[in-house]
Amino acid sequence: MTTVDDLPIRDDLRGQTPYGAPQLDVAVRLNTNEHAFAVPAPVIEEMRKRLDAELPELNRYPDRDAVGLRTDLAGYLGHGLGFERVWAANGSNEVQQQLLQAFGGPGRTALGFGPSYSMHPLLAAGTGTRWIGSLRDPDFGLRADAAVAEIHRHDPDLVFLCSPNNPTGTALDPAVIDAVLGAARGMVIVDEAYFEYARVGTRSAIELLPGHPRLVVTRTMSKAFGFAGGRLGYFAADPAVVDAVQLVRLPYHLSALTQAAARAAVSQSAALLATVEKIKVQRDRIVDTFRESGIPAAESDANFVLFRVDDDQKAVWQRFLDRGVLIRDVGLAGWLRVTAGTEEETTAFLNAAGEILGERGETSEHSAAKSARGTDERSEEAL
């Protein structure tokens, strides 16, 4: 049988495996940071109306530049943005790939600070861009002086920052981003895929766009909007960046159906984002429960929690799966990541964690009572 390595594949792709999390049919799926709540019925009805309007015209190409959708997204972001400063594609991965196609490539480099989103180096590899992996602090934060020192050391063409960071959940102080902008000669891409889950007072890098034409802030509708199946990502930047990306985008890359469904979702953003606070309560419930039980857990401004395990994380991951709870092994030795789900899903996870990691403090039942009260003490203390 012919294998990939028998084909004339690029040398730098030999031995690589495709990116992807396990897709398993289990009772509790908390491994891919999907929004836990289904799309509300009124939003589905609005999507249906807009999709029905597009069906008779499917023999025609869609709006190539998706101006209507970009206008809607600019309105959602605010900050005085117009459509000319927003670009959209099939998920934020495609958005970032287009940025690497335009500003990276053979002979150019991209720098990131790990542990962080594992797709960034894969996207770089796919575009022939050399990836430089620097490290965050031991507490998963990133200091401005440390970031600037790495930029001066490597002089990259692109810098990737993740805020809130995946898989740690850590948000960046805008002062760190501002320092990076001052040190980098190339593009600075801030991945804000999880920004809607951030705690009150967390500031977006979008605030830094004025006067910084090489800053790009990427977002997605896959997370807080519950639109993962719709595949829609976007960025905000200087209009010149939008012009540059259009040089490499595929023609008609966003289907008419994708644009219609996404516009419906943006028009119903209040209904879709109404459950974000419920997710944040469950996220904080997980962190509080772990810490009161003596289990280290990282600060999180996302819809997931990174927590420490004493044993081999692969074996612990399997023990959760054996109990019908699917979480994520992100390849970080001694750590696992869990998505904050519904109250019922979170309870199932905490029950499993109590059995696997040992009940060294607060029980999951006590934690459920705290969740029902809707407390958010940790978030208040962190501000």
Q: Give domain status of residue 8, yes or no.
A: no
- The pLDDT of residue 74 is 98
Give the model's confidence band at 367: pLDDT under 50 very low, under 70 low, under 90 confident, else very high: very low
Q: Give domain status of residue 117, yes or no.
A: yes
- Average pLDDT of span 363-369: 44
Tens digits of per-residue pLDDT, 272-281? Answer: 999 999 999 9
Domain identity same for 150 and 250: yes
Domain identity same for 187 and 333: no
Residues 6 or more apart whose Cβ sits within 8 Å of residue 82? 71, 74
Domain count, the chain: 2
* Mean pLDDT computed over every residue of the chain: 92
Tens digits of per-residue pLDDT, 166-206? Answer: 999 999 999 999 999 999 999 999 999 999 999 999 999 99
- Average pLDDT of span 128-150: 96
Radius of gyration for the chain, computed over Cα atoms and rounded to the nearest angstrom: 21
Instruction: Please report, for the domain that includes residue 343, its CATH number.
Output: 3.90.1150.10
Q: Give domain status of residue 87, yes or no.
A: yes
Q: Give domain status of residue 368, yes or no.
A: yes
**The last residue of a domain, from among 236, 253, 269:** 269
- The pLDDT of residue 18 is 86
- Average pLDDT of span 92-115: 98
- The pLDDT of residue 93 is 97
- The pLDDT of residue 323 is 97
Give the model's confidence band at 214: pLDDT under 50 very low, under 70 low, under 90 confident, else very high: very high
Three-state SS string over 181-249 comes to HHHCCCEEEEECCCHHHCCCCCCCHHHHCCCCCCEEEEEECCCCCCCHHHCCEEEEECHHHHHHHCCCC
The boundaries of the domain holding residue 349 are 22-37+275-377
Residues 6 or more apart whose Cβ sits within 8 Å of residue 81? 74, 206, 236
Domain identity same for 176 and 198: yes
Q: Give domain status of residue 360, yes or no.
A: yes
Q: Give domain status of residue 262, yes or no.
A: yes
Q: Give domain status of residue 12, yes or no.
A: no
Domain identity same for 33 and 45: no
Domain identity same for 229 and 137: yes
Domain identity same for 231 and 183: yes
308 - beta bridge partners? Answer: 335
Q: Give domain status of residue 14, yes or no.
A: no
Three-state SS string over 7-67 comes to CCCCHHHCCCCCCCCCCCCCCEECCCCCCCCCCCHHHHHHHHHHHHHHHHHCCCCCCCCCH
Domain identity same for 229 and 284: no
**What is the rounded distance in angstroms from the CA atom of residue 166 to the CA atom of residue 320?**
21
Q: Which two tokens stand for residue 316?
A: 């612990």
From residue 97, how far is each of 18, 100, 232, 353 by CA, in Å?
16, 5, 14, 37
**Is residue 121 over pLDDT 80?**
yes
DSSP secondary structure of 303-354: SEEEEE-SS-HHHHHHHHHHTTEE-B--S-TTEEEEE---HHHHHHHHHHHH
**The last residue of a domain, from among 269, 286, 306:** 269
Domain identity same for 295 and 255: no
Domain identity same for 28 and 62: no
Domain identity same for 54 and 99: yes
**The last residue of a domain, from among 217, 246, 269:** 269
Other C-beta atoms closer than 10 Å to the C-beta of 269 total 17
Domain identity same for 168 and 224: yes
Tens digits of per-residue pLDDT, 223-272? Answer: 999 999 999 999 999 999 999 999 999 999 999 999 999 999 999 999 99
- The pLDDT of residue 13 is 87
Domain identity same for 194 and 68: yes
Instruction: Please report, for the domain that includes residue 89, its CATH number.
Output: 3.40.640.10
CB distance 86 to 77 below 8 Å: yes
- The pLDDT of residue 23 is 87
DSSP secondary structure of 123-185: HHHHTTPEEEEEE--TTS---HHHHHHHHHHH--SEEEEESS-TTT-PPPPHHHHHHHHHH-S
